[in-house]
Amino acid sequence: MKNLASIGSSGQLSTDDNDNEEISKMAITSLLAREDEIERKKVEVREKVEFQLGRAEEETRRLAQIWEELEMLTDPMRKEVAIVRKKIDVINRDLKSLGQSCQKKEREYKEALQVFHEKNNEKAQLTTTLVEMVNQSEKLRMKKLEELNKIIDPMR
């Protein structure tokens, strides 16, 4: 706006006023140019942010798809692994009870074998004793028979 105080007697603006007006116009132009630059940069940054958000959303979708595929891949494996582990656990329990049974039967076998050997030795000793007794009995009977035979022979 024009400064009314600077209007002279002739009704015209002074040169100082013209310079001030020029400076004001230049300042306004400069301010508008800066505002336009700021707005342009603001739009540019907004476009970059929107572009980055778009890329981020696209990457998120891609990662979600990969995650789903990964879950699908690992899920059957987990089930199979769980089944095999359960089978191993069952077999381990069976092996443990079978091992205990085997050890018990080994002890029983060793005890029975020891008793068998003892009885076999006892039988061998008794057989030896029986053979000796039978031999002694035969000798005694033979001796008695010889004595009886001598008693009978002198009479003849």
Q: Is 147 within a domain?
A: no
Contact 39, 28 (CB under 8 A): no
Q: Is 87 within a domain?
A: yes
7: confidence class by pLDDT, cuts 50, 70, 90? very low
Average pLDDT over residues 28-38: 91
What is the distance between the alpha carbons of residues 51 and 57, in angstroms, rounded to a whole number?
A: 10
3-state helix, strand, coil in the chain (%, to 5): 90, 0, 5
Strands (E), the chain: none
Q: Is 132 within a domain?
A: no
Q: Is 151 within a domain?
A: no
Q: Domain limits at 69?
A: 4-125
Q: Is 156 within a domain?
A: no
Q: Per-residue pLDDT for 1 more than 50?
A: no
Q: Is 150 within a domain?
A: no
Structure-model confidence comparison of residues 25 and 87, the more confident one: 87
Please choose, from the candidates 47, 46, 48, 50, the residue with its C-alpha nearest in 3D space to the C-alpha of residue 58: 50
Please give the pLDDT value at position 155. 66
Q: Is 136 within a domain?
A: no
Please give the pLDDT value at position 76. 67
* Half-sphere CA count of 32, side-chain side, radius 13 A: 6
What the block records as the tokens of 113 is 């074998």
Calculate the average pLDDT of the chain.
Answer: 87
Please give the pLDDT value at position 22. 87
77: confidence class by pLDDT, cuts 50, 70, 90? confident
Contact 6, 16 (CB under 8 A): yes
Please give the pLDDT value at position 74. 65
Q: Is 100 within a domain?
A: yes
- 3-class secondary-structure state, position 7: strand
Number of domains present in the structure of the chain: 1
Q: Per-residue pLDDT for 48 more than 50?
A: yes
Per residue in 104-126, pLDDT tens? 999 999 999 999 999 999 999 99
